[in-house]
Structure 1
Amino acid sequence: MFDMVMKGMTRIAVSGHRGLPLRTVRLIDEAIREMLRAHAPHLVGLSCLADGADQIFAQAILDLGGTLEAVIPAQRYRDGLPGDSHARYDELLSRAAVIHRLDYTESTSESHMVASARMLDSADSLLAVWDGLAARGYGGTADVVAEARQRGVPVHVVWPTGSRRD
């Protein structure tokens, strides 16, 4: 399933922080869109659709005319997301051209890291919305960046001046 590569399309996976303040959301949205415009509309975005960076990226992909592929780490993944992000998650999932569902039942750090690794399997690059700090838990952005670098997948870090985490 993950070996399908659309000809002439740039495939970009995303990993990034969640729980971002509104000002940071705006800064990151602007930076992501600026980076993606160079490839639009010939791009495929790979996202787990978590709140924060994943949803910002997925919306930008769609707005720029790209194709969204969702990678869902577990059957109960949505349940683990903040309630106020469910409507956006549902809307983005409904707009995904392809949905890859992993076999995990529970949404855990392990399932999230496996989902990130699966995205990297078919990505040309990783867009990391990352403050450069160590992961707060296994499967965090720093771990995904390390995995991408180990595989030789180019990593593009987005963390505009003035950005901060919760």
Structure 2
Amino acid sequence: MRIGITGHRGLTADIEHQVRQLLEEALRAEDPAELTGVSCIADGPDAWFAEAVLRRGGRLEAVIPADEYRDGLPEWHHPTYDQLLRRASEVHRTGMVESDEAAHMAGSEILVGLSDRLLAVWDGLPARGYGGTADVVAYAERFGVPVQVLWPRGATR
């Protein structure tokens, strides 16, 4: 089972705690020997999901939207990003250089294409920019990839 992740970044510590629990619950029934997580490993749900997959004994595949992607992530996340990238069994690249909205959406399209199911840490609202979580969910739904939305009850961004 290949499970992809998309989700909102910049969540509060309280929401992070709840989302981490939801991710663990979503993975609980998966056989670690058959589990592959697909993630762009950005700060937030992407990295939390990747860590949860690896903790369970699953495999991680990373999708890199652009050559400059890491540079656009918060500096405090770089050590986690680097560690997760080193632990990835496969790395998929878009071939794009600039880390912009188009590259992020292209990376998400690759991620969805690799996934049997998509977990979406999503508040249900429209994307704040092209390639946001809502766009990735809509893309997955158009291509028949089942989406499981994970959002803490009552939480807001």
Task: Classify the TM-score, shorter chain.
Answer: over 0.9
User: Which of 11, 33, 46 is equivalent to 1:54?
Assistant: 46
**1:123 match:** 115
1:30 is the counterpart of 2:21: yes
Where does structure 1 differ by over 3 angstroms across 4 or more consecutive aligned residues? none
Q: Per the alignment, in what secondary structure is the counterpart of residue 134 of structure 1? A: coil
- Corresponding residue of 2:8: 17
Give the Cα–Cα distance (whole angstroms) in 2 for the partners of residues 148 and 19 of structure 1.
Answer: 23
CA deviations on 1:95-147 (whole Å, 9 max, x unpaired) are 11111122111101001101111111121111000000000000000000000
Q: Which amino acid aligns with 1:148?
A: A
TM-score, normalised relative to structure 1? 0.91
Alignment match, 1:156: 148
For 1:162 and 1:21, locate their aligned partners in 2 and report how far apart those are by CA, in whole Å: 13
Give the whole-Å Cα distance in 1 for the aligned partners of 2:122 and 2:58.
23
Q: 1:134 to 1:61 in 2, by over 3 A?
A: same
1:84 CA drift (Å): 1.1
SS in 2 for 1:103: coil
When the two chains are superposed, the root-mean-square deviation of aligned CA atoms in Å is 0.9
Out of 104, 107, 121, the position equivalent to 1:112 is 104
Per-residue Cα deviation, 1:62-113 (whole angstroms, up to 9, x for no partner): 0111100000001110000011111111111111111112211110100110
Give the Cα–Cα distance (whole angstroms) in 2 for the partners of residues 136 and 119 of structure 1: 20
Question: Any idea what SS the aligned residue of 1:70 has?
Answer: strand
Runs of at least 5 residues in structure 1 that lack an aligned partner in the other structure:
1-9
* Deviating more after overlay: 33-42 vs 62-71: 33-42
User: Secondary structure of 2:3's partner?
Assistant: strand
Number of equivalent positions: 156
Q: Specify which structure has the higher proportion of helix.
A: 2
Whole-Å separation in 1 of the counterparts to 2:80 and 2:155: 22
Residues of 1 paired with 2:154 and 2:121: CA distance?
A: 13
Paired residue type of 1:12: I
Q: Is the 8 A contact 2:120 2:133 kept in 1?
A: yes
What SS does the aligned partner of 1:104 have? coil
Identity %: 54
CA distance in 1, matches of 2:44, 2:75: 13
Q: C-alpha separation between the residues in 1 aligned to 2:23 and 2:58?
A: 13
